Amino acid sequence: MNGFPYVRRRIGEIAISVIRRGEMKTLALAAALLLVGIQSRADILIYKGTMVGKSGPATLQPVVNTVFMLFNPEANQIRFLSLFRDIKKVRLDDPNDVTNASAAILKGKTATILTVDTSAANPPNVANGLFYLRGTNATLKVATSGLTTLNQPRVFGGINFKSGISVGVGFFTEVKLNLVFQEKRTVNANDANQDLDSAGNTLVDEFKALGFTEQ
């Protein structure tokens, strides 16, 4: 995907050369190549999994059990949708920028690591936290045309820890995450040229049809 602007520029150069020489067959080929470039976008990966953990004080909302993560590896952004099944609520969080790193691991494989520093300070309130996911890269089917595969984790595992003081009261959250790639939802999103917003809204609508309401 990083080469997409170059592809468009090069195709344009070919088209100008073609027009000057009157080679219509080559022009048709150039147009076809441009169409392939347009269809090569694959912006969204969708994962489903669990968040298991504890938090305190007891007045805090319990950690949800089921979540979806939408990941745009090109823009280095993620977005979470959370399901509160006991009260039939669905919540779509705002997108978050992530640090997206790749590291070599054993047996010639690579891993993708996503992190977010969730620390914040507004004296006398303070919070220290880290969101961290890691997975071993594999070839994933992400669309039915254009760029049909990406090298990204099939499974992400990680943590989301936060602790601090708010209005003089200490708090903590300790969450473990396990997320599994959703091929069908991902292919549908990319075939429809969806981004984080439209893919997230599609998920919300899916659960509204099942009787959930937005939180």
The predicted pLDDT at position 58 comes to 77
Q: Residue 152 burial (CB < 10 Å; 0-12/13-18/19+)?
A: buried
Checking if the pLDDT of 199 tops 70, the result is yes
What gap in Å lies between CA 71 and CA 68, rounded to an integer?
10
Checking if the pLDDT of 197 tops 50, the result is yes
What gap in Å lies between CA 182 and CA 74, rounded to an integer?
18
Q: Which of 55, 48, 32, 46 is nearest to 145 (CA)?
A: 32
Element (H, E) at 9: helix 4-21
Query: CA triplet 160, 163, 164: central angle to 5 degrees?
Result: 150
What gap in Å lies between CA 32 and CA 18, rounded to an integer?
14
Checking if the pLDDT of 14 tops 80, the result is no
CB 165 within 8 A of CB 125: yes
What gap in Å lies between CA 42 and CA 45, rounded to an integer?
8
- Residue ranges per structural domain of the chain: 4-39, 45-214
Q: Read off the pLDDT of each residue in 151-180 and give the average, rounded to a whole number.
A: 95
What gap in Å lies between CA 195 and CA 95, rounded to an integer?
11
The predicted pLDDT at position 20 comes to 52
What is the reported pTM? 0.79
pLDDT-based confidence at residue 31 (cuts at 50, 70, 90): very low
Checking if the pLDDT of 74 tops 90, the result is yes
Mean pLDDT, the chain, integer: 85
What gap in Å lies between CA 115 and CA 184, rounded to an integer?
26
CB 135 within 8 A of CB 105: no
Out of 32-46, 69-83, 88-102, 159-173, least confident range: 32-46
Checking if the pLDDT of 42 tops 90, the result is no
What pLDDT, in 10s, does the model give residues 81-115?
999 988 999 999 999 999 999 999 999 999 999 99
Q: Which residue has the tokens 């292919």?
A: 187
CB 127 within 8 A of CB 166: yes
Out of 40-49, 86-95, 158-167, 179-188, least confident range: 40-49
Alpha-carbon distances of 130 from 75, 107, 116, 171, 173, rounded to whole Å: 20, 29, 6, 15, 11
The predicted pLDDT at position 131 comes to 97
Q: Which of 69, 60, 81 is nearest to 114 (CA)?
A: 69
